[in-house]
Chain A
Amino acid sequence: MIQTINFLKPNRDNIKNYSIIGTFLVLVSLIDVISNAFLKINLTSFLPGSLTTLFPLIIGLIGLNMMRIDYSGNKKLDLLNKNINTNNFNALLTLLILFSIIKALPQSLSWMIFDATISGDSKDACTGTGACWTYIKVWFRRFMYGMYPNEFHWRINTAFILVIALGFVGYFMKDNLKKYLALYYVIIYPVIAYLVIYYLISGGSFGLQWVETGAWGGLSLTFIVSFFCLIFCFPLGMIFALGRRSNLPAIKYISICYIEFWRGVPLITVLFMSSVMFPMFLPEDFFMDKLVRVIIAITLFEAAYCAEVIRGGLQSLPRGQYDAAKSLGMGYWKMHIFVILPQALKLVIPGIANTFLALVKDTPLIFVVGLAELAGMLALAKTNPKWLGFAMEGYIFASIIFWIICYAMSKYSYNLEAKYKTER
């Protein structure tokens, strides 16, 4: 009797038998699922109906149960047990997830790759059962540049290359100019970038044909809107964060009102206001482009979020840092620039990255005021009578692009974190 119970309880003594039998059972369950999914062969068809479907799960569970040996001495086995096989419930979840992936793989692969079409340049080419990447191919330029005239696309490309190159100037600045770095990025760089984009993409002078902002669109518009909102909302947020902690009541309450107002209204109404209501309050002869209004609206909106994130960082600094800076004779600005902000901003990198990612993913909302960036172009393209029925391909394409952008940004924020990490 005792021996049978021992037999069911794996331990270090019978580890060899148990791990071999366990591995074998798990392998059997995996082979069953894989052959089922990929080869459409049901190895267990001799079993009654419901048991056939549950067979791999049961066998796999028994197998994992037999492999669950504490401190087996085998590093790989221990790692497996610690991470995905701590108890029966975890083992069940592991198997379910594994099986779902295996089951879903053949269909999604054949839809996305094996049965997909990419040749041709009209809807007629897409006769297969798979995805119609032809649609993306044909619309690619529209998705990237919107309604911007094809022959001028080089202007957008050149402008972007210039703006990116200017962004790297900071890395190559000489040491004696380094103290102007912040000034460069906060004021000079945005102004130059604005001029580059205005003269190259808008045109209208230097022999370049004028292209109105209504024609801008696609991914390039996503970049333009995100770029300006990001570089303006950060310093603005910093000012309001400091303002909210100010000792001067007027500044303090203005900051609080500002932050609470913008955090309280939905972005979509702000965008509506900026494009519909705002021009009504302006004098007749005063003209402000819709795109500029939208960028200002998003900047003001996101600045409020930035401000609260930065305030969190300011509050987490111990009071001693303020005392020490003051006792050395530093005034408010010197104290903040050299002592407080460098530490606080370092602490809020994850939070700021969060806000920035949200901002980039909020840009599709500008569709409501008639500006079509990537997701907006997608919405236009899918309602084109010649190309009905390919929304899925479009959304997959857009999500991949957005994922790449956002993943790059979060990776960059991790790098920054690691770079500025100091021991406390």
Chain B
Amino acid sequence: MSDPIIKIQNMNKWFGDFQVLKNINLEVEANKKIVVCGPSGSGKSTLIRCINRLEEHQEGDIIVDGNELSEKTKDIEKIRAEVGMVFQQFNLFPHLSILDNCTLAPIWVKKMPKKDAQELALDQLKKVQIDDQANKFPGQLSGGQQQRCAIARALCMQPKIMLFDEPTSALDPEMIKEVLDAMVNLAKGGMTMIVVTHEMGFAKEVADEVIFMDEGMIIERADTKEFFANPKSDRTKLFLSQIL
């Protein structure tokens, strides 16, 4: 068993008086695909936002690729550059073309020459099949295309870990498939992925493990087959019966 790339120990987080995450312990090994599911408000999104420190945790340790995340962490940008993230609302930069969206961070954060960055970006856009839209602006694309562009943008930073925060929740049913296909391809390429989603079909197809969260706690963590075949806790059973 190799060293875990993400290690969370006894992590607690509050929003004001409200405790969103309670005593989270989680280890993720490189190249594993983890799906996090659970009812809304259970802290799934907050958990993965803590992994690249878009949210700050108050207690416990989070170690990403050997770097501990805390107030003292100086080069938080370096860690974030290695952790790609895809959001529910795509969050493309509307004032930049699709290509510029993808090359902005490689050029200015990784100091990559412009030409190399554009080649890389076109390559990544090709993988999600929107390289023909490279010169359009985000507002001119459909939701599914925008989300695929967001995936390509994150991949252009060549991250070690990819976080997906409900990537298909804001999409029409028709467009969900094209985004999921892109994610399946990415998973086959061996990327370490943590995906918050309600798409159980995707979980069954891709995930190595499934985590079920409720009320800020990890209720259950199991291999995918085990999780769907023999859920242990009652709450998991209830959740699965509702969602499947």
Mark A residues whose CB is within 8 Å of B: 318, 320-321, 323-331, 334, 338-339, 342-343, 346, 420, 422-424
**Among listed B80-88, B124-132, B212-220, B225-233, interface-contacting one:** B80-88
The answer to whether residues A331 and B137 also contact, given A321-B91, A323-B91, A339-B93 and a CB cut-off of 8 A, is no
Identify A346's interface contact among B52, B81, B95, B154, CB under 8 A. B95
A329 touches B77 (CB 8 A): yes
Identify A338's interface contact among B108, B110, B157, CB under 8 A. B108
Give the residue among B49, B77, B87 with the most A Cβ atoms within 10 A: B77
Residues B64-122 near A (CB distance < 8 A): 77-78, 80-85, 87, 89, 91-95, 104-105, 108-110
**Which chain B positions have C-beta within 8 A of A328?**
80-81, 104-105, 109, 153-154, 157
The answer to whether residues A323 and B87 also contact, given A338-B104, A423-B94 and a CB cut-off of 8 A, is yes
Q: How far is the CA of A330 from the CA of B54 in the complex (A)?
A: 12
- Contacts A327-B54, A328-B154 aside, 17 further interface pairs with beta carbons under 8 A come to A318-B91, A324-B93, A324-B150, A325-B93, A326-B52, A328-B80, A329-B81, A330-B105, A330-B109, A338-B108, A342-B95, A343-B93, A420-B95, A422-B94, A422-B95, A422-B139, A424-B94
Closest 7 CB pairs of A and B: A423-B139, A329-B81, A324-B91, A320-B91, A328-B105, A327-B85, A329-B80
**Which chain A positions have C-beta within 8 A of B80?**
326-329
Q: How far is the CA of A331 from the CA of B84 in the complex (A)?
A: 15
**Which chain B positions have C-beta within 8 A of A329?**
77-78, 80-82, 105, 109-110, 157
**Which chain B positions have C-beta within 8 A of A424?**
94, 139
Closest to B104 in A: A338
B19 in contact (CB, < 8 A): no
B40 in contact (CB, < 8 A): no
The answer to whether residues A321 and B93 also contact, given A327-B84, A329-B105, A423-B139 and a CB cut-off of 8 A, is yes
Identify A334's interface contact among B91, B108, B150, B154, CB under 8 A. B108
**Which chain B positions have C-beta within 8 A of A331?**
77
**Taking the nearest CB of chain B, how far is it from the CB of A423, in angstroms?**
3
B140 in contact (CB, < 8 A): yes
Query: Number of B interface residues, CB 8 Å?
Result: 30
Q: How far is the CA of A324 from the CA of B89 in the complex (A)?
A: 10
Closest to B92 in A: A324
B94 touches A320 (CB 8 A): no
A327 touches B154 (CB 8 A): yes
Closest to A343 in B: B95
- 28 A-B residue pairs with Cβ-Cβ distance under 8 Å, sorted by A, are A318-B89, A320-B87, A320-B89, A321-B91, A323-B85, A324-B85, A324-B92, A324-B150, A325-B93, A326-B80, A327-B54, A327-B83, A327-B84, A327-B154, A328-B109, A329-B78, A329-B80, A329-B82, A329-B157, A331-B77, A334-B108, A338-B104, A338-B108, A339-B93, A343-B94, A346-B95, A422-B94, A423-B94
A330 touches B95 (CB 8 A): no
Q: How far is the CA of A338 from the CA of B109 in the complex (A)?
A: 11
Q: How far is the CA of A227 from the CA of B150 in the complex (A)?
A: 42
Give the residue among B49, B54, B82 with the most A Cβ atoms within 10 A: B54
The answer to whether residues A327 and B104 also contact, given A321-B91, A422-B139 and a CB cut-off of 8 A, is no
B140 touches A423 (CB 8 A): yes
**Taking the nearest CB of chain A, how far is it from the CB of B193, in angstroms?**
15
Give the residue among A321, A334, A422 with the most B Cβ atoms within 10 A: A422
**Which chain A positions have C-beta within 8 A of B92?**
324
Q: How far is the CA of A325 from the CA of B153 in the complex (A)?
A: 11
**Taking the nearest CB of chain A, how far is it from the CB of B192, in angstroms?**
16
Q: How far is the CA of A318 from the CA of B92 in the complex (A)?
A: 11
Q: How far is the CA of A423 from the CA of B98 in the complex (A)?
A: 13
**Which chain A positions have C-beta within 8 A of B150?**
324
**Which chain B positions have C-beta within 8 A of A318?**
89, 91
**Taking the nearest CB of chain B, how far is it from the CB of A320, in angstroms?**
4
**Taking the nearest CB of chain A, how far is it from the CB of B153, in angstroms?**
7
